[in-house]
Structure formats: C-alpha cells, structure tokens
A and B are shown apart, each in its own frame.
Chain A
Amino acid sequence: MTVNNMADPRRPNKIFRYKPPNTETNPTLEDPTPDYMNLLGMIFSMCGLMLKLKWCAWIAVYCSFISFKSLKCNASGLLSISAVVMSYLQNPQPMSPPW
C-alpha cells in the first residue's frame, strides 16, 4: 500500500552472502541428544552381542533409530540390527520379559 509512496528499499549492491553460524563458538546451541543416543546404541548392541541379552539388542535398535534421523550415522544402526539378528540366531527362544 505504502510501497508506491516510498522508494524501493531494496539495494542489490548491498548484498551480503549467507554465512552459516559458527557452531564451535556456541557449543550449547547444538542438541546433544543424538550423540548420546548414538553412544548408548553402540553400548547396548555390544552388551547384547557379548552377553546374549535379547532386550539389550532391542534397546540398541531403538537408540540407533532415534539418533539415525539426526546424524545419518549408519554404523550404530547396522551394529544394533546385527546384534538383534545374532541374538536370535544363537537362541531362537522368544524373549521373556525381564520382570
């Protein structure tokens, strides 16, 4: 409405390029949850493989799913899936609830 009265505020000669904010100076802005989930996933899948605990392997799968979306890190995802598969190959019994 008032644009016709005012001069055009745009200035093509005053363009600055976008600089992604430096996250090193502000580590608090980053969300640490996916990193923790990744680590937890690795730990649980190791436990599941070594101690042959099925529920450990399942929790590892969940953790890696949660962190997978944010980090796109496939290593822990594949590790947890292999933990689940190995647990079932070694012991085809169905999982009993831990209580």
Chain B
Amino acid sequence: AVVKYLLCVVRLQHAGRYNDDFDDGEDIAEFDDNDFAEFEDVSEDPAVDVEKEPPPRAAPSSTPIEDEEDEATVENEDGQDEFEDADAQDQDMYSKYDNEEFEGHEKTNPSFKDTLIYREVPAHLQNSWESYYMEILMVTGLLAYIMNYIIGKNKNSRLAQAWFNSHRELLESNFALVGDDGTSKEATSTGKLNQENEHIYNLWCSGRVCCEGMLIQLKFLKRQDLLNVLARMMRPVCDQVQVKVTLNDEDMDTFVFAVGSRKAMARLQKEMQDLSEFCGDKPKSGAKYGIPESLSILSEMGEVTDGVMDSKMVHYLTSHADKIESIHFSDQFSGPKVMQEEGQPLKLPETKKTLLFTFNVPGMGNTSPKDMDSLLPLMNMVIYSIDKLKKLRLNREGKQKADRNRARVEENFLKQTHAQRQEAAQTRREEKKRAEKERIMNEEDPDRQRRLEEAAQRREQKKLEKKQMKMKQIKVKAM
C-alpha cells in the first residue's frame, strides 16, 4: 500500500512535469486519484504532442525496462528515481504504445477529431413524396396527353362544324341528298357530317345533274395526338379538304388533266397511275396560261388545257392559288399506283371518271373556325367545274389522239403481263391434268379406270395432232 501511495505521488510529480512539457495550459487539479488520470490526458492530447515524444522517449525506453528488473529491491531514495524511471518507463511504454498504435497515421484519433458523416437514408425507407418524383412525372405526362386529346378533338369538331355551316346552303341548293352514311334504309339527307375518327370527317352528296355523287373529306391535323402536335412544331402541315366527284360516262369526255402547286404536281405525276401513263411530259408552268408561277399544269394534250383554262377558271385559280394543292380531272382515274408484290397485276385496274380537288385550309395548322368561310369560293369552283366539263368536248383530232393514247396504254400493259399470263395459263393446264390423273387413280372400278385412261390418252393424241397441224400451216405460210 505504501508503495502504491509513493507511486501515485511520483506519478503526480511526473504528470506535472510532463504537463509542462506537453501543454502548459493543463491544470494539475484535473487529475483524479484515479491511476489512469494522466493516461487520459495522454490519450486526449493531440497527435502533435505525442509525435514529439517518440525521439526522446524511444531512447531511454529500453534501459529503464532492464533497470526495473535489476533494481526491484532498491530503497526508497533510490526507489524514487527508479520509480521515476519506472514511471517514466511506464509513460514511455504508454507513449510507445501510442506511437506504435498510431504510427503511419496522419491523424491519431479520427473518431474524436473528424465530423460525423451522415449516410443517406435509402429512398424506399424515406416517408416523403419527393422520392416518387419519377412516378409523379409519368402521371403528369399522362394527364397532359389526356388534356391534349380532349382539347384537340374539340377543336377539330368545331372546325368541321364551322365548315359545314358555311357550306351547307351551297350544297343543299345543288344536291338532293346532303349527308349519307350508307347505313339507313331510305336515301334521306342526314344533314350532318360523318365522323370517321377524331380528325377525319366525311360528307356524301348526291342527286345532281352532271355527276353521280360528291364525297367531301375534311382531313384535319391529328390535334388529339400529343406526339403529332410535337412533330408538327418541327414541320408545319396544313389541314386539307378533299373533294372527289364521281361522274357518269356521259358527263365527261376522255382526257386527263391536272393543275396545282409545283410540288404537288411533281409528286402526283409519280404517284398517280393515270397521270404517269397519260401525262408523260414535265409539268408546265402556269404563267403561260395566265395563272401564278407557283402553279403548274400536267395535261394529256394542249387542246385540253386550252379548253379547261377559260377566263373564269383562271380567275378562280389566280385569286385562290395559295389554297389550291391540286386539281385532277381524269376519265382513267384509278387512284395511286398499286405497289406490286410479284410483277404486274394480271388485269388493268378499274377506272372511273373522276374530278379530284385538294384544298389547303389557310392558317397552316393554327386555323380558327372563321377561316372555313374562305373555302366557300373554292366549292363554287368545284360546282362550276362539274358543269363545265359536261360541256367540254374534244374536237375530232383530239378525240383520235385520246383514243390512240388509251389503246397504247392498254397494249403496253398487255405486253408487260404477257409472260405472266402465259405462265398462269400453263399452271392452270397442269392443274387440270393433275386433277384428271388423280381422278383416274382414285377410281376403284378397274374397268372404268382403264376406260378413263384410254379417254385421256386419246385426248392427248388429238392435242398433239392439232399442234402438228398448226406447225405445218405456219411452215406453209412462211414458205
């Protein structure tokens, strides 16, 4: 116990001395009776102080350890030194441990010195709506799409109704049947447009001299589709009104003619079956006939152009050139060229005498219902054209030329398909033979089988003879 007390005293003295070395500010009063009080100080002290220690401590550390063992029984006086040494040695040991412990580290005690690092709570454990921002974005996008759908559909509907309201009077005074969807039993005017889908409206009019019927299609932009709306911001497009008048045979003479914007004419000449066959020349500029440069003409023959381009027509075209996309009169109309899968089709496509008008609605997409009124003069032009073509007849020369053209086209077509038609005929013949052979095979009665076989053979023989006769005849003729 005495030894212990002495040790404590000695340590206190040392602690005081060491404190002076380390840190002048340290108060001795801080020390408890606790044996480890001074070690607390040592461990809490910054690295700087401890690092200063290694050189002075390292050297004497080895010798005191040996001394302690030898001088364990030395008296108090000497013991003081020894105790001091021992104490020093203890201190050294602890400092050494401190040094060894923290050798190579820049900081000695990061957990005490550095700030706390806050790890983020994983998103699914947070109870906040903010973490669902992607979902909220998605739902907002869907809502925007739905809103656009409703707004676009309504706008198209209003435009269609405005068009019909401004044209109703003209149509009702010209046609007995205005509006028909084809489903009702009786042919009565429905008096309203057929809505095909959210952006296309139809109107069928019939019951007039000089024509069979007139189909008007209001082809609006797809305002109800958000994707389309965004695409149109890059590339502006127009609403279009397409009028297709179908004629009876007596309502129009035989010719093919088209006038419209230059771009449209170039495109139609490539796309349309009849324009590509009958109007082979490049589109002529409209300036020659008194209409604006922006319009060009495709015609089967000059006489037709002269006949169509009378003063009233020129007036219509000049005053509404911006709204006219294309005007196409044809007695051989069969629509656009059909893409062939395997060679040409085996027969000519069906044709119908047709007048096809395509008008652009002004406004380039930003149309208002008022703009529909500006299309009324164009409908007047349509009616005028119908009446005019009934009276327009080619002279004798023109008619001959037209007939020759049509014969030429038909002949070309037949030539092109000749090989194919031959092939088709060949396959049909082979099919017949095969069917007959099968029938013979399937015949159960052997007698009948034999008889059928003989009949087939005889037929074959006859055919061969016929062929031989033909060859002989040709040879004779050649000679």
Q: B152: shortest Cβ distance to chain A, in Å?
A: 10
Q: Mark B189-210, 1 if CB is under 8 A from A, else 0.
A: 0000000011000001011111
B142 in contact with A96 (CB, 8 Å): no
Q: Which residues of B sit under 8 angstroms from A25, Cβ to Cβ?
A: 335, 338
Complex: how many Å from CA A96 to CA B145? Answer: 23
Complex: how many Å from CA A11 to CA B175? Answer: 7
Q: Mark A80-93, 1 if CB is under 8 A from B, else 0.
A: 00000000000011
Q: Which residues of B sit under 8 angstroms from A66, Cβ to Cβ?
A: 145, 225, 227
Q: B267: shortest Cβ distance to chain A, in Å?
A: 14
Q: Could you tell me which residues of chain B, from 200 to 224, have a CB within 8 Å of some CB in chain A?
A: 204, 206-210, 212-213, 215, 224
SS of A interface (majority)? loop
State whether the Cβ of B409 lies closer than 8 Å to any Cβ in chain A: no
CB nearest to A72 among chain B residues: B197
Interface size class of B (residues with CB under 8 A): 35 or more
A17 in contact with B187 (CB, 8 Å): yes
A10 in contact with B124 (CB, 8 Å): no
CB nearest to B198 among chain A residues: A69
Q: Mark A44-65, 1 if CB is under 8 A from B, else 0.
A: 0000000000000010011001
Interface size class of A (residues with CB under 8 A): 20 to 34
State whether the Cβ of A5 lies closer than 8 Å to any Cβ in chain B: no
Q: B312: shortest Cβ distance to chain A, in Å?
A: 12
Q: A25: shortest Cβ distance to chain B, in Å?
A: 8
Complex: how many Å from CA A9 to CA B181? Answer: 23
Q: A19-B182, A66-B227 are in contact. Are A10 and B176 (CB under 8 A)?
A: yes
State whether the Cβ of B177 lies closer than 8 Å to any Cβ in chain A: yes
Q: A62-B142, A69-B198 are in contact. Are A16 and B227 (CB under 8 A)?
A: no
**B residues bordering A, Cβ < 8 Å?**
123-124, 131-135, 138, 141-142, 145-146, 149, 173-177, 180-182, 187, 197-198, 204, 206-210, 212-213, 215, 224-225, 227, 335-336, 338-339, 387
